[in-house]
């Protein structure tokens, strides 16, 4: 690992957090027309980030980079299926934990503002978001797992990086509220652990993609699913009628 790789990776991690924080504030103050995933600036930003990540990976000087970054896959079919299975298990576990947390602490611990802006409203949007969603997933997995965990493994114990990168992964999801940050941080650690154990980027990308698709499907099919996370509207004080 060289200095360019280390500084570049840390810079991109900081940029991801800044971008998420800035987007979260902007979404609250403006009304977005159409699906956020289909916005050209968002797509271009993720595309540039992926290009920068791949550029940093190309500067890595250690041998056996395929083991460090988990790419290319050794057995595409097996790794893809394994990722899908992991994604299904993790998503159903997340559904259970989120429901439990909501019952204990109330709906105010989660903000649905991002989900409301990425849920497809019609079939054509479902078709169109498949590639942008994959791009978003690929950027996060390449940066948080391949570069942060795998790339720094020659300098820092990968399990330590798994913890650190997962905390930052949760912080990147700050627009989703405390519950969103906690659960994505937990899922991020699971992805990091899977990446360390399997040495496969494809496994975590496919697992992450399945989770996101299931979340969108659930939110799209159940109209009240997102509403339950929104705090109840404050009742207006109406003047009493004169006797």
What's the gap between Cα 27 and its chain centre?
17
In tens, the pLDDT along 188-222 reads 999 999 999 999 999 999 999 999 999 998 887 76
**pLDDT tens per residue, range 54-97:** 999 999 877 678 889 999 999 999 999 999 999 999 999 999 99
**Token pair recorded at residue 144:** 């948080």
Are the C-beta atoms of residues 195 and 149 closer than 8 Å to each other? yes
Phi/psi of residue 119, nearest 5 degrees: -70, 125
For residues 107 and 229, the answer to whether their CB atoms sit within 8 Å is yes
Decide if 233 is inside a domain.
no
pLDDT exceeds 80 at position 29: no
- What is the tally of structural domains in the chain? 1
pLDDT at 241 over 50: no
Identify the three-state secondary structure at position 57. Answer: helix
Burial 88-109 (b: 16+ CB within 10 A, else e): eebbeebeeebeebbeeeebeb
Across the range 99-114, mean pLDDT stands at: 88
pLDDT given for residue 221 in this prediction? 73
> What are the start-end ranges of the H helices in the chain?
3-29, 40-58, 65-69, 76-105, 113-118, 123-141, 158-172, 177-198, 201-221, 223-227
- How many residues in the chain? 243
Is the model's pLDDT at 120 over the cut of 70? yes
pLDDT(229) > 70: no
pTM of the model: 0.88
Q: Residue 235 falls within a domain, yes or no?
A: no
15 assigned to some structural domain = yes
Q: Is residue 232 part of a domain?
A: no
Which candidate, 33, 238, 37, places its Cα nearest to that of 132?
Answer: 37
243 or 67, higher pLDDT: 67
What is the CA 32 to chain-centroid distance, rounded?
A: 20
Measure the CA–CA gap between 12 and 168, rounded to whole angstroms: 12
**Structural domain contains residue 85:** yes
Q: How distant, in Å, are the alpha carbons of 130, 131, 222, 228 from that of 232?
A: 33, 35, 18, 9
The pLDDT, as a whole number, for residue 236 is 44
Q: Which domain holds residue 176?
A: 3-227
- Give the integer Cα–Cα distance in Å for 118 and 120: 6
């Amino acid at each position: 690992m060289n200095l360019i790789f280390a500084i570049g990776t840390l810079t991109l991690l900081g940029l991801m957090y800044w971008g998420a924080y800035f987007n979260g504030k902007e979404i609250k103050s403006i009304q977005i027309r159409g699906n956020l995933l289909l916005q050209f600036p968002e797509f271009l930003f993720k595309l540039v980030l992926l290009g920068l990540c791949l550029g940093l990976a190309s500067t890595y000087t250690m041998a056996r980079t395929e083991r460090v970054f988990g790419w290319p896959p050794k057995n595409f079919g097996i790794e893809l299926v394994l990722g899908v299975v992991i994604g299904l298990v993790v998503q159903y576990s997340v559904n259970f934990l989120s429901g439990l947390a909501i019952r204990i602490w109330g709906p105010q611990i989660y903000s649905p503002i991002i989900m409301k802006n990425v849920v497809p409203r019609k079939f054509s949007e479902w078709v169109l978001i498949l590639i942008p969603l994959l791009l978003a997933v690929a950027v996060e997995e390449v940066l948080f797992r391949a570069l942060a965990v795998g790339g720094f493994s020659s300098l820092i114990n990968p399990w330590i990086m798994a913890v650190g990168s997962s905390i930052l992964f949760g912080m990147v999801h700050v627009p989703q509220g405390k519950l969103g940050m906690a659960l994505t941080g937990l899922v991020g650690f699971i992805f990091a652990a899977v990446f360390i154990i399997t040495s496969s980027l494809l496994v975590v990308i496919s697992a992450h993609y399945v989770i996101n698709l299931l979340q969108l499907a659930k939110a799209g099919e159940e109209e009240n699913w997102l509403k339950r996370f929104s705090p109840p509207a404050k009742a207006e004080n109406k003047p009493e009628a004169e006797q």
